[in-house]
Each structure stands twice: as C-alpha cells, then as structure tokens.
Structure 1
Amino acid sequence: MKQVKLNNGILIPILGTGTNTFGKENNDYYGNITNDTKELDSAIDLGYRLIDTAISYRNESVVGLAVSKSGLDREKFFITTKIPGTEGFRTKKQVESAIQESLTNLKTDYIDLVLIHHPWDNNEEIAKVWSYLEEYVDNGVIKSIGVSNFNIDQINYLINNSRIKPVLNQIESHPGFWQDNIIEFCHKNEVAIQAWGPLSKVNDETKEVLNQIGKKYNKTWAQVILRYQIQRNVIVIPKSHRKEGQLANISVFDFVLTKEEMRIISEL
C-alpha cells in the first residue's frame, strides 16, 4: 500500500474505505445501527487499514468493534473521524464531550485524524473550534487534524490563522467534478487531498471511455478512476459492501496510466 506523508510527517495510506452506511439496517445511511461488522471484517482481511467514519454517521462504535475484533495492533490502523460543523459542536466543552465520546465508541485512547466535517459561515468561529482540536494534538490524543468540504478561501483562512496547519482536506472529487483548482491549491500549500465519493455520479458515456482505457490493463472503469486519483497524489476512500468490490477497489497498484490517458481522464 502506497502511503502519503502528511505535513506533520505522519504517513497515511493512499487508499482506504468509507463507512457511512456500514453496520446499518439495509445499508441505509439513516438506518438503525446493527453493530454488524461484516463489511469492515472483509475490508480488514483484504488489507484495508485506513478507515473513515464520522460522528454524524453514528457508526463509530461499529468501527471500534471491527478494529478490536481483528486482533491486529491498534497502531496498524489509521482511523479518521469527523466532528460536525453544526451548532452543538462549537464550544470548548462541546468539542471535549464529542472527542471523548468518539474515543469511547472507537475503543481507543487516540485518534489518527479528526476533521471538521463541514465549514460554516464564520471563519473566526471555525478557527476557535480548530484551536480546541490543536490542544488534543498537543497532548497526543489526536495525532493529526484537518478539514472536510472546505473551499480555497476557508482553508486559506485556517492556514493563516492557526498554530497547526491542516494536514488534509477531504473533498468530493470524481469525473465531472475533479475539483482541480482546490487540489492544486492544497498541494501547493502542503495540505493533502482526500476524495470522498470517488466513484459516484459517473454516467454511462464516461464509463465507456474509462472502460476503453481499462481494457489494456484488464481493469474496470472504477479501478481506472481510483488509479487516476492515486497517480495525482489524491487519497481515495471508496466504499463497497461486497468483498468482491472491496478487492477490486484495492487492486489498483499493479498498473500505471500513461500521460495521455491521464490527460483524457482529466477532461471527463
């Protein structure tokens, strides 16, 4: 597994798994939590070590259970969770309560990466919440902190008004919405980019182009997308409920797209 070095020197796998419908009835985002770890059990068996969850997903406890059941050392995993960017998570006391609950749910004494899940229309307030997270980095309870769904202006404000630079910005990125500008900005400022929903909203015409490229490598359209992102140093967290899909998603390190293929994909 290729890894990306964050701006604080910590390594993160370049490919992991999303979990927002894992451990829920009918694989429904809003479904009741079942504590069924089957999706994570198979992912871990296949070699996934980067696991992405969030407080708003309500399934941190499912992640914690799967990791503890795996029998692997906690240090083998890179676990990301996210604190909501909503009312109720703005004061120091609210942030402290949220982090403590995440630690309990994840069955761990530290979290590898905590992100502010969404920005809101008050950069000064965001920077204040950020300062509370910085204190957890100081004491080692959180190893790294970053953001999610931040635009250039929002992340630039945080870079210029915080003590600890964000290590990562998790954004939507897929064909038709690659988000090249913010990716370029973040890379230039040593902020890693992670793509959520990397295989979403892909139409049939785009799939046909990607499948044509993939034929040469015996790869699918989805594998070509993941490889494209990896080659431009974007971390990806695809999600599949099937072991076969999980295996396909992680089987993207045995081929390299040409410059021309990268150009074609970039224009989709």
Structure 2
Amino acid sequence: MEYITLNNGLEMPIVGTGTNTYGKENNDYNAAVTNEIPELLSALELGYRSIDAAIMYRNEELVGRVLAESTVPREELFITTKVPAEEEYIASKEATRAAIDNSLKNFQTDYLDLLLIHFPIEEKGQLQNTWEVFEEYYEAGKLKAIGVSNFRKNHLEELKEFAKVKPAVNQIQINLKEPNKDLLAVLKEEGITPVAWGPMKVEDHQKEVLEDIGKAYKKSGAQILLKYQIQRGVVVIPKSHNRENQAANLDLFDFHLSAEDMERIENL
C-alpha cells in the first residue's frame, strides 16, 4: 500500500474501499441491512485498511462490529465516516456532537481517522456550528483529520471565512466521465487532498483506450484508470462485492505509467 500525507501530517492509504452497499440485501443501497458483511471481511483479508463509511449508509454499526472483531489492529485501520447535512445532525452543536459520539460508539473506537461533512450545508450558521464541533473533536484527539465531501469552490470559500482548521480532504466525484478538473486545480492550490468517489466510471471509447494502454503493463483497463488517479495524487475509493475485483483494485503498486500514457488518459 502507498500512502498520501494530508495537510495536517496524517498519512492516509491512497486506495480504500467504499461500503455504501455492503451488508445490504442484494447489494442494494436502499435495501435492508443484514447481519453479515462478507465483502468487508474479504477486503480486510486482501489488505484494505482504509474503510470509507457514512451515517447515511445505515450500516455503520455492522461495519464497526466487523472491524472490531477482525484481527487487524485498530492502529492499522483508517476509518472515515460522514455526517449528513440534514437537520437531525446539524440543527445544533449538540445534535452534531451526538452524531459524532454515536459514530464512535458504532465503530467501537475512541477516535475516527477522518470525519467529513457529507454534503454542503447551505445555511452559513449551521455550517459554522458544524465545523466548530468538528474542530472541537479534532483538538480533543477524537478525530485525527476533518474534511468535507461534495463541496464546490464556493462552499470551500465560505468555510474559509471562519475555519481555524483547514479541511484535510474533499471527497468528490472524480472519474473520466466527470473529471472535475477545475475543482481539482482549486484543491491543489489550497493544499486539500482530493478523494475520488465513483472513480471507475468511463465511457465506452475511454474504456477501449484504457484497455489498450493496459496491454503494455499487463494490467486491466480498470487498473490503469485507478493508477492514473493515484499517480497524480488522487486518493481512490473503489468498491466491489467480488473478491477477484477487490484484489485487482489493490494490485497497482508494481508498475508506473509513463508520462505519455498519463497525458493520453488526461486527454480522454
């Protein structure tokens, strides 16, 4: 595994696994949560250590139980979860504290590695209150890093007006269908690490080019796509229910894309 150093010095695995459909009937995001989560067990066995969760996924407790019962030491895990931008969680500082405390309880831990605001909070007072609670838990050591998700440039500018702690990451959609180049440039300028959700989305013509590039490296098009992102400093959170695909998504560290191939992908 390779790591990226966040702006507060914390090291984050550059590849993680999403969990939004883990432990749910028929792998359906909206379905009922089951009592088993074989996909996460498989991911841990294969070497995944960054686990991307969220309150909205409704399976924090199940994910937390599996992590707590695994043989992987807590200090080797990088647990991310997210607070929804909904009244239940951001109506007051007390509501946000309760949400964080409940996530800590769900993960059976006394700290989280990364906590994000899941979506932009449009009301400025609520955004400030929520971020101040994040900073409070960060200063207390209960959060190793704090950040945001799905924030655009204007949301980041608003946060800068009062934030004492700069967001460590912004988790956004980054893939060849939605490259988000302008926002990536903003994040680079600000020193905020981009984390890609949905990194595998491609158009058919792009897929063909990726597979063609992969022949020279004896890698699949999907592996080339993930390598492209991590090689330019983007953390990727792919997700699979298939053990073989999970393994392939980690098999990225024995080759390096040439400058020419990076540019070819960039221009897709």
Cα pair 2:177 2:203 within 8 Å, conserved: no
Taking structure 1 as the reference length, the TM-score comes to 0.97
CA distance in 1, matches of 2:56, 2:146: 17
TM superposition shift of 1:219:
1.0
Give the C-alpha shift of residue 27 in structure 1: 0.4
Q: Give structure 1 stretches of 5+ with no counterpart.
A: none
Instruction: Indicate if the aligned counterparts of 2:137 and 2:143 stay in contact, CA closer than 8 A.
Output: yes
Q: 4+ residue stretches of structure 1 with deviation over 3 A?
A: none
Distance in 1 (CA, whole Å) between partners of 2:129 and 2:34 is 36
Are the aligned partners of 1:109 and 1:141 in contact in 2 as well (CA < 8 Å)?
yes
Matching residue's letter, 2:124: N
Per the alignment, residue 89 of structure 2 pairs with: 89
Distance of 1:61 and 1:35 partners within structure 2: 10
Please give the residue correspondences for 1:31-180 in structure 2 after superposition, counting only pairs within 5 Å.
31-90=31-90, 91-180=92-181
Select between 63-72 and 17-26 the one with higher mean Cα deviation: 63-72
Deviations 1:101-128 (A, max 9, x none): 1111111111111000000323343122
Identity %: 47
User: In the alignment, what sits opposite 1:186?
Assistant: 187
| C-alpha distance in structure 2 between counterparts of 1:180 and 1:44, whole Å | 32
Partner SS state of residue 218, structure 2: coil
Give structure 2 stretches of 5+ with no counterpart. none
Q: State the one-letter code of the partner of 1:168.
A: V
3-state DSSP of counterpart to 1:142: coil
Normalising by structure 2, what TM-score?
A: 0.97
What SS does the corresponding residue of 2:256 show, helix, strand or coil?
coil
Q: Distance between the aligned counterparts of 1:142 and 1:228, measured in 2?
A: 30
Letter in 1 for 2:64: G
Which segment is superposed worse, 87-96 or 166-175? 87-96
TM-superposed CA distance for 1:186, in Å, is: 0.8
Aligned residue identity for 1:76 = E
CA drift at 1:4:
0.7
Distance in structure 2 (CA, Å) of the matches to 1:175 and 1:166: 25
* Offset of residue 260 of structure 1: 1.4
In the TM superposition, residue 179 of structure 1 has moved relative to its aligned partner by 0.9
Which range moves more in the overlay, 176-185 or 112-121? 176-185
1:23 aligns with 2:26: no
Any conservation in 1 of the 2:50–2:77 contact (CA below 8 Å)? Answer: yes
CA contact under 8 A between 1:112 and 1:142: conserved in structure 2? yes
- Tell me the SS of whatever aligns to 2:177: coil
Identify which range, 127-136 or 236-245, moves more after superposition: 127-136
Q: Distance in 2 between the 1:15 and 1:159 partners?
A: 28
Q: 2:264 & 2:124 partners in 1: Cα distance?
A: 37
Deviation at 1:153?
A: 1.6
By how many angstroms is 1:197 displaced?
Answer: 0.6
Q: Distance in 2 between matches of 1:111 and 1:99?
A: 9
Partner SS, residue 62 of structure 1: helix
**87-96 vs 244-253, which deviates more?**
87-96
Letter aligned with residue 34 of structure 1: T
Shift of 1:264: 1.4
Mapped to 2, the partners of 1:213 and 1:156 lie a distance apart of 39
Which residue of structure 2 aligns with residue 10 of structure 1?
Answer: 10
CA distance in 1: counterparts of 2:267 and 2:159, whole angstroms: 31
Matched residue of 1:199: which SS?
Answer: coil
The CA deviation string for residues 153-184 of structure 1, in whole angstroms up to 9 with x for no partner, is 21122134211110000000111211111112
